[in-house]
Amino acid sequence: MPMTDPAPAPKLPTAAVGRRRLPSLIWLIPVVAAAVGLWLVAHTWLEQGPIVTIQFSSADGIEVGKTKIRYKSVDIGDVKGIEISEDRKAVVVSAQVAKSAWDLLSRDSKFFVVRPRISGGTVSGLSTLLSGAYIAIEPGTSKELTVNFVGLENPPEVTSDMQGREYILRGEQLGSLAYGTPVFYRRVNVGHVTKFSLDSDGRGVEVGVFVNAPYDRFVTSNTHFWHASGVDVTLDANGLKVSTESLVSIIEGGIAFQELADLPPPHGSAPSGASFTLYDDRAQAMQLPDLHREQFALYFPESLRGLSVGAPVDFRGIVVGEVKSLGVEYEKADSPIRFPVLINVYPDRLRSRSLNGSSPGAYSQAKSRAIIDRLVAHGMRGQLRTGNLLTGQLYIALDFFPDASKAAIDWSGTPPVLATLPGGLTEIQDAVGRIARKLDRVPIERLSGELSQALVSLDATLRSSQKLIGQLDSQVAPQATRTLAEAEQALRAANALLAQDAPLQKDVQNALKQVAQSARALAVLADYLERHPESLIHGKPEDPR
């Protein structure tokens, strides 16, 4: 193609192709993504705490994925699995616990299942009705951490955040106590029962009670605990008295405690875990404790039937002791068999009831023995008496018999012997026996022979008298009847004569009237003569007119 010499092409600008040393900024995006992703994963990973296994006897109410582990109602974990233990006796619940809850997993931490619980006084775990049960943790104090636990079957009644003290009570029987039964101090609910168990020898029960913080200082060594269950009905000389701690305690029982006022002041409040006696009722609890005792042996002449161990020893109505044992003793083959009755007498009961107002001094054996010596010198003797006529139960009465022969206590004996007198019933028996013996001496056979003779003669007498009566009946009676009839006639005639309108009566009346008139005339004459005696000589003067 014809072309003019082309003009030299203008010099094209050449692009400088530089190689960037740094990669494009766009690569920041995957870096950020990686960082975010790593953070998300790491965050989730780090938040996941340890997996703990908890052994329960049953998985009742526990569901995988739903049941939570809670501490103070805050979720700190989830149940991830439930398996049956290898020996098939328990279930093993594995749960994921939040990382932040690591330090709750002390070796002595306790796990328990919270289910709705309704007892007489309280309703707890009500939210679990809807949400289902949850596993609660009660953190321990140990620094050692672990992930394998054995769960509690019952929620602990005392949690670590409760202030107060726990005490052990020993009693004869549990009564109506249960977990959570309230404890009252002056009718204020100050605590609850935390546990109870039978003694290892089965002779009593051991009850654990927890007394909340401000009130635990009222529990001292002088404090007595008693069963405050139900209603206490007493019928005494003042009438019927019903007392109870509270309505709740009627339903579910309770324990009350109070300090004995009469005792010397205690040294501060009782330490946690202190042990006390659990009395059956308030009266028993409020009794002064018998610190001292004297033992005596009594030998009664009569049978001990009806006397039992524990029977009261009564000093004019006040129980000062009890029968400790009954027995039989004989020293040699020829010595008479004796029946010793051992009694415990508590001198404190005599002492504290002294009326002299001042506080009783310190107990001394010598002093109390001196008192007893004096009492015996005044005629104090032991006597068996019938406490209950229906059951024939006996008790031992200490009473004064000033007429009793002199006696004294030999304190060297072990135990010393207290003189006795035959009981009231025995005396009556003796009297009856004496009468019977006298009756026995009466010659009944001779008496009966004489009696039969007397009866025969009596019979004859009776027969003759009967004859006499027959005569009377046949002869005397008709005559008498006749006589009576005549008498009646005579009387009737007399009656006719004496009647008001009878002629005789009229005549008599007239005669009497005339006699009265004559008498009046005579009286007038006499009167006149008295005033005019001269008229006897001169006669009656003329009328002056």
Partner 1 sequence: MRAPRSLQRTSAYLVAAAILYVPANVLPVMHSSSLLASQDDTILSGVVYLVRSGSWPLGLLVFFASVTVPLLKILALGFLVWMSACRSRAHMLARARLYRVVEFVGRWSMLDIFAVTLLVALVRMGRLASVLPGPGALAFAAVVVLTLLAAHSFDPRLIWDPVDAND
When asked if residue 36 is in the footprint of partner 1 (CB under 8 A), the reply is yes
- In the complex with partner 1, the residue whose CB is nearer, 41 or 162, is 41
* Residue span binding partner 1 (CB under 8 A) among the ranges 30-38, 216-224, 342-350, 426-434: 30-38
Contact 137, 110 (CB under 8 A): yes
User: In the structure encoding, which two tokens stand for residue 528, read together?
Assistant: 């006149």
Selected from 60, 66, 247, 499, the binder of partner 1 by CB under 8 A is 66
Cα distance between residue 498 and residue 491, in whole Å: 10
- In the complex with partner 1, the residue whose CB is nearer, 30 or 301, is 30
When asked if residue 44 is in the footprint of partner 1 (CB under 8 A), the reply is yes
Selected from 41, 318, 408, 512, the binder of partner 1 by CB under 8 A is 41
Least distance from partner 1 to the Cβ atom of residue 53, Å: 22
Q: Residue 274: which region, alpha, beta or left (left: phi > 0; alpha: psi -120 to 50)?
A: beta
When asked if residue 40 is in the footprint of partner 1 (CB under 8 A), the reply is yes
User: In the structure encoding, which two tokens stand for residue 242, read together?
Assistant: 């019903």
Stretch 93-132: interaction string toward partner 1, x if CB under 8 A: -------------------------------------xxx
**Residue 50: phi, psi to the nearest 5?**
-75, 160
* Amino acid identity for residue 396 in this structure: I
3-state secondary structure of 224: strand
Cα distance between residue 475 and residue 471, in whole Å: 6
When asked if residue 356 is in the footprint of partner 1 (CB under 8 A), the reply is no
Least distance from partner 1 to the Cβ atom of residue 32, Å: 7
Contact 206, 196 (CB under 8 A): yes
Pairing state between β 110-114 and 134-138? antiparallel
Which has the closest alpha carbon to 285: 234, 236, 230, 223?
223
Selected from 2, 8, 65, 202, the binder of partner 1 by CB under 8 A is 65
When asked if residue 352 is in the footprint of partner 1 (CB under 8 A), the reply is no
Least distance from partner 1 to the Cβ atom of residue 118, Å: 21
* Residue span binding partner 1 (CB under 8 A) among the ranges 25-33, 109-117, 427-435, 466-474: 25-33
* Residue span binding partner 1 (CB under 8 A) among the ranges 19-27, 153-161, 212-220, 294-302: 19-27
Number of residues that bind partner 1 (CB under 8 A): 20
* Residue span binding partner 1 (CB under 8 A) among the ranges 29-37, 320-328, 455-463, 524-532: 29-37
DSSP string over 183-225: EEETTEEEEEEEEEEE-TTSSSEEEEEEEEGGGGGG-BTTEEE
When asked if residue 74 is in the footprint of partner 1 (CB under 8 A), the reply is no
Q: How many CA atoms lie within 13 A of 381 on its CB side?
A: 20
When asked if residue 482 is in the footprint of partner 1 (CB under 8 A), the reply is no
User: In the structure encoding, which two tokens stand for residue 284, read together?
Assistant: 């028993």
Which has the closest alpha carbon to 347: 302, 383, 295, 297?
295
When asked if residue 51 is in the footprint of partner 1 (CB under 8 A), the reply is no
- In the complex with partner 1, the residue whose CB is nearer, 96 or 272, is 96
Least distance from partner 1 to the Cβ atom of residue 42, Å: 10
When asked if residue 81 is in the footprint of partner 1 (CB under 8 A), the reply is no
End-to-end CA distance of the chain: 239
Integer angstrom CA distances of residue 388 from 70, 347, 393, 394: 63, 26, 5, 7
Counting Cβ atoms within 10 Å, is residue 324 exposed (0-12), middle (13-18) or buried (19+)?
middle
Least distance from partner 1 to the Cβ atom of residue 15, Å: 15
Residues that bind partner 1 (CB under 8 A): 23-24, 26-27, 29-30, 32-34, 36-37, 40-41, 43-44, 65-66, 130-132
